[in-house]
Amino acid sequence: MLSTSRCGSVLTCAEKASTRLQAIKRVLGVPGIVSRGIRSVIAIFVVFAAALSSAGAQTMPVLQLQTLAAGVHVLRAPGFEPNADNAGFVSNIGVIEDEHGLVLLGTGTSRRFARHLIEFVERTLGRPVIAAVDLYGGGDHVLGNGAFVSRGVPVTAHVETDRFIRASCHTCVERLTAALGENMMSGTVPVAATVVFERSGYLTGVSRRIRLLHFGHTFQPGATAVFDEATGTLFAGELGAAGWLPDLYNANETGWRDALTELAALGARQVVPAHGAPGGREVLDEPRRYLDALIGRVGEVFAAGTGLLDALDQVEVAGFGNWYGYAIWHRRNVHFAYLHREELEFGHTAAEH
């Protein structure tokens, strides 16, 4: 698929500039009446305006479907860092074919990207989008909700994810606008889910057996995984990881670890994380190993009477130094895990510390 700029894909910017010039000539009169000087000024103005339009436009990233099983696909994010080149597309998006149409897992980073996404999958697979699911509350995953809702497509999310979108995603818009620019984020506002659920069950409004799996407070209170029973494909969302370090900023590390054990018990044939390459059970086992080691090591230094500041320097987890986020998040993860361990010991919250 070719990305298109504001000038479109049928005519180049230069061709459109020429077309505009001819139109202006017709408005002002026949070519012989317009003086050579005026025509030169008009030409310069139109070419300059076209150049500004091209410079101000941002192209959408090329999208490619990776088929995982019959009727199950993933759109792989091209990288981990949101920037103008990838339009903030840093989270994998699942596509499941139901007999009535397409179910998308994730709506993207912006209203513009969501429209690009919908147009691509409908054109590629020849079927309409009939449902979307927000697996977690993150700007890279849910800020396209508005484009779906405006088309009458129901967006499903856990009640806690819906609450997070309503309460906090205005800051997601601000951060992504700073990273991607106002043009890319134009018209993007947080839009809540239209269907919410409280406990694990099956996605409504479709005939395919698509399970929504919720394990309590894990990555976030509302973080959800999706299991397609027909193909044994698990979309783990932020619960799984491939080269992307678990981030405890809004997390409960023990709940997350235990959820990974339950997900592994499903025996999925393939597992898709929010970030990084789809794979097998290792997508669940590796983040569980990190969390288990973090919990255990923090527990050891806490029991030894080590203070929080010293714990930040002493707790390392081998084998994850090259994962995205380790240099940024690991010390912060130690901080949160230590406070949670302290809360468990003394019965007060981190906020009361």
Tens place of pLDDT for every residue, the chain, 353 residues?
Answer: 333 332 333 333 334 444 443 443 343 344 443 444 544 444 444 334 433 333 345 689 999 999 999 999 999 999 999 999 999 999 999 999 999 999 999 999 999 999 999 999 999 999 999 999 999 999 999 999 999 999 999 999 999 999 999 999 999 999 999 999 999 999 999 999 999 999 999 999 999 999 999 999 999 999 999 999 999 999 999 999 999 999 999 999 999 999 999 999 999 999 999 999 999 999 999 999 999 999 999 999 999 999 999 999 999 999 999 999 999 999 999 999 999 999 999 885 544 44
DSSP label of 120? H
Backbone angles phi, psi at 206, to 5 degrees: -130, 160
Question: Per this entry, what is the length of the chain?
Answer: 353
Whole-number pLDDT of residue 31:
43
Closest CA to 91 of 101, 106, 103: 106
- The answer to whether 189 and 114 are in contact (CB under 8 A) is no
Q: Give the amino acid at 237.
A: G
Whole-number pLDDT of residue 42:
41
Whole-number pLDDT of residue 28:
36
Whole-number pLDDT of residue 216:
97
Q: Give me 44's structure tokens.
A: 């310069």
pTM metric for this prediction: 0.82
Backbone angles phi, psi at 10, to 5 degrees: -85, -45
Q: Give me 56's structure tokens.
A: 């101000």
SS3 state at 220:
coil
Q: Token match 């989270």: residue?
A: 91
Asked whether the CA dihedral 277, 282, 284, 287 is positive or negative, the reply is negative
Q: Is CATH 3.60.15.10 the right assignment for the domain spanning 65-208?
A: yes
Name the strands in the sheet holding 195-197, side by side, starting at the edge strand that comes first in the sequence. 65-69, 72-75, 93-98, 101-105, 129-134, 155-158, 195-197
Q: Which residues contact 254 (CB under 8 A, 6 or more apart)?
A: 295, 340
Q: Facing residues of 192 across strands?
A: none
- The domain ranges of the chain are 13-56, 65-208, 239-353
DSSP label of 122? H
Closest CA to 244 of 287, 291, 289: 287
**DSSP character string of 229-268:** TTTTEEEEETTS-SSB----TT--HHHHHHHHHHHHTT--
- The answer to whether 99 and 231 are in contact (CB under 8 A) is no
